[in-house]
Amino acid sequence: MDTTPAVRVRGLTKRYRGVLAVDGIDLEIARGQVFALLGPNGAGKTTTVEILEGYRDRDAGEVEVLGEDPQRAGRRWRYGIGIVLQDASDLTELTVRETVRHFARYYPAGRDPEEIITAVGLAEKAGARVSTLSGGQRRRVDVAVGIVGSPALLFLDEPTTGFDPSARRQFWGLIRSLAEDGTTVLLTTHYLEEAENLADRVAVIAGGVVVADGDPGTLGGRAGAQATVSWLEDGQQRTQKSHDPGALVADLTSRHAGVVPGLSVSRPSLEDVYLDLIGSTER
């Protein structure tokens, strides 16, 4: 098994007309990992991803994707990359089967289109025209096209925009199955719940720099942050922050004869941490 990183970036820099869009970014993504790249619009996220995909040149820094420099890599390297854009253009008058077969022809060793259609949950819609599918089903066609070449690395740009909650969770299951099969996934999303549910690691970009990088459960000191303990007392909602919520709950339990009305204990969500990180950068 190849243990080299799927993506390795050191000091990545990009300017547009003198404006620094990406300012010395460092990133490393292990093979088989689901990695979420988060950041507000204009933070440098899209530029970074386009450089990794080989669609945009950098001004400075070192970039290796699947062991090669995207700025110089050839066709063979591109066969290892799958890309699902936010606004993918479909051959809408073709059927699902025809669409996947069409794109499979571009690859010298693509996967069986029928196998891919089944893998993305569209076996019953294989003969349906893409134009007749729901938004979630069409997104699955986009993913089928993105993975039909058996990519080692899959880029997903805002994959569930416009999905209802049920379709979004079904799509998450598909991404997890791809990761379990060994595909490395680089995900950009504005849904913090999506990043928390799917990603092994998360990086937050703001102002062209990485302001946090780590496990979603511990990002930005989240695991060690104060917990918020809430309960009802004398008909009033009480709230107290504590670094030792267990001790506070034990004290409350003793005071309320074993049952604390309306008790809840929560730590900062990923969204809380994210907003704090990008807010600090903007300030």
Residue 169: burial class (beta carbons within 10 Å; 0-12, 13-18, 19+): middle
Q: How confident is the model at residue 37 (pLDDT cuts 50, 70, 90)?
A: very high
Q: How far apart are alpha carbons 201 and 183 in whole angstroms?
A: 15
Q: How far apart are alpha carbons 117 and 49 in whole angstroms?
A: 27
Comparison of pLDDT for 226 and 51, the residue scoring more: 51
79: left (phi over 0), alpha (psi -120 to 50) or beta: alpha
pLDDT at 247: 83
pLDDT at 152: 92
Element (H, E) at 46: helix 45-53
In sequence order, which ranges of 79-212 are alpha helices (DSSP H)? 96-104, 113-119, 135-147, 165-180, 192-198
Comparison of pLDDT for 253 and 167, the residue scoring more: 253
**Which of 96-105, 110-119, 221-230 is predicted with the least confidence, judged by mean pLDDT?**
221-230
pTM: 0.80
Q: What is the mean pLDDT of the chain?
A: 87
End-to-end CA distance of the chain: 45
Q: How confident is the model at residue 2 (pLDDT cuts 50, 70, 90)?
A: low
Mean pLDDT of 47-63: 94
Mean pLDDT of 210-223: 80
pLDDT per residue over 135-168, tens digit each? Answer: 888 888 988 898 899 899 999 988 887 777 887 8
Using CA atoms, how far residue 86 sits from 42, 83, 169, 170, in Å, is 16, 10, 18, 18
**Which of 61-70, 169-178, 268-277 is predicted with the least confidence, judged by mean pLDDT?**
268-277
**Which of 28-37, 131-140, 178-187 is predicted with the least confidence, judged by mean pLDDT?**
131-140
pLDDT per residue over 79-102, tens digit each? Answer: 999 998 776 666 788 999 999 999
Q: Give yes or no for residue 176 having a pLDDT over 80.
A: yes
Q: Give yes or no for residue 228 having a pLDDT over 90.
A: no
Q: How many residues does the chain have?
A: 283
Q: How far apart are alpha carbons 180 and 203 in whole angstroms?
A: 21
pLDDT at 283: 44
pLDDT per residue over 233-248, tens digit each? Answer: 887 888 888 777 788 8
pLDDT per residue over 3-24, tens digit each? Answer: 789 999 999 999 998 889 999 9
Pairing of strands 209-214, 201-206: antiparallel
Q: Give yes or no for residue 48 having a pLDDT over 90.
A: yes
